[in-house]
A and B are shown apart, each in its own frame.
Chain A
Amino acid sequence: MLKQFADYVAFSLIGLKPGSHGGEALDFFIYDTIKIFLLLTTIIFVVAIIRSSFPPERTKRILSHNREYIGNVMAALLGIVTPFCSCSAVPLFIGFVESGVPLGVTFSFLVSSPMVNEVALIMLWGMFGWKIALIYIGTGLLVAIVAGIVIGRLKMEKYVQDYVWEMQVGQQEIEELTFRDKLVYARDYTRDLLKKIWPYVVIGVGLGAFIHGYVPQDFLAKWAGRDNPFAVPIAVALGVPLYSNAAGVIPIVSALTQKGMAIGTVLAFMMAVTALSLPEAIILSNVLKRRLLLTFFGIVAVAIVAVGYLFNIIL
């Protein structure tokens, strides 16, 4: 139905020729924008209702009872539903480690929370289909769990800034929300998030549509195809400065996939965009000494590159 609507607007209403560059690009743009916004609104709303039951205070309490392995798995899973903003990364980190959440478990949370989020999922589902979206969640959780266990094993507690361990942390009550409160929270959350990301989505889908209509088929196969062993690490490196624009980046890479970029490379790129961000590193340097910060980034980067190679081989 959406497809017919997009065809109608592009070809009948505006009168572009089907099969022409401009016609195909516009058709693609209308269809994708409507589809993505419908998905975003519904799913963000549903996730926000679940999210309202998991304020960071509750997540912290759950995790402080868990040790290695189970703790890492729980932390990665809770990372999906606990609201996280990199501007709160410092108080969150201190709150976790001070209440006895092991360092490795805290890192599993810090990796999963920004990477496995509903916006990335919806965009992947909308542009690549549910299989790729599920693979992304699965491998994202795995990266978070493994990275956390490795960091835990390295016993790097002494590379946390000293003041963190001396801090007095108060207890905050967890307010119980009624179902009505949760709906209000979900409505506000959805509205705020959409307000923030809509320009990226429109620009991203627009650029994607342009690539779809104008860039020749197989244009990227030579450089970003599965035969180029450097494509994955380069994609990961490019993902670091592109922080927070997951909503805008996915439609572009989706179009690039159709022009020959390999899917493992795309997944690795996406994970790098969301999990490895420069601003977050700067914020975390308030609580982590350089050695731990670099170890954290290094381990996550290696894990992401491994995911990229793996899926270039099997998909």
Chain B
Amino acid sequence: MKLEVLGTGCAKCKSLFENVKKAVELSGKEAEIVKVEDIPTIMKYGVMSTPALVKDGKVLFSGKLATPEEIVGML
């Protein structure tokens, strides 16, 4: 599974990246986590409010900072 954290470098985006890492550890699943900061890629997903989380090319949510527990439920 590939997880992409979309965000242009705001504080919330960094926290989301950390929460996603924790969530993957909690779930015990294998995942590649990448941080996406470039605008064209973010726009390709149609995301207008950051941070957002993308799983295998599908936007799970945007414009919020989810907790690790919430994210585990989505993986």
Contact = CB atoms under 8 A, between A and B. Distances in A.
Interface in A166-197: 167-172, 188, 192
Nearest to B10: A87
Interface in B24-60: 39-40, 42-50, 59
A26 to B, nearest CB: 34
Contact of B12 (A87, A92, A163, A171): A87
Residue among A60, A88, A98, A169 with the highest chain B CB neighbour number at 10 A: A88
A230 to B, nearest CB: 37
A95 interface: yes
A286 B9 CA distance: 14
Interface residues of B, number: 22
A170 B40 contact: no
Given A94-B39, A168-B40, A172-B62, A85 B48 contact: no
A83 interface: yes
A85 to B, nearest CB: 7
Q: How many of chain A's residues touch chain B, expressed as a range?
A: 20 to 34
A56 interface: yes
Given A168-B44, A169-B46, A91 B10 contact: no
A118 interface: no
A188 B40 CA distance: 30
A138 interface: no
Contacts of A94: 39, 43
B48 A92 contact: yes
Contacts, number: 68
Interface in A51-101: 55-57, 60, 83, 85, 87-88, 90-92, 94-96, 98
Given A91-B39, A94-B39, A171 B48 contact: no
A88 B9 CA distance: 10
Nearest to B67: A188
Nearest to A188: B64
Contact of A85 (B40, B47, B49): B49
Contact of A169 (B13, B43, B50, B65): B43
Contacts of B65: 192
Contacts of B40: 163, 167-168
A171 B45 CA distance: 7
B58 to A, nearest CB: 10
B10 A90 contact: no
Given A55-B49, A57-B48, A172-B48, 4 more contacts: A56-B48, A87-B12, A98-B43, A170-B44
Interface of A: 55-57, 60, 83, 85, 87-88, 90-92, 94-96, 98, 163, 167-172, 188, 192, 286
23 contacts: A55-B63, A83-B49, A83-B63, A85-B10, A87-B12, A87-B50, A88-B48, A88-B49, A90-B8, A91-B39, A91-B42, A91-B48, A91-B49, A91-B50, A92-B48, A94-B43, A95-B43, A167-B43, A168-B44, A172-B46, A172-B47, A172-B48, A172-B62
List 5 tightest A-B contacts by C-beta distance, closest first. Answer: A87-B10, A170-B46, A172-B46, A95-B48, A56-B48
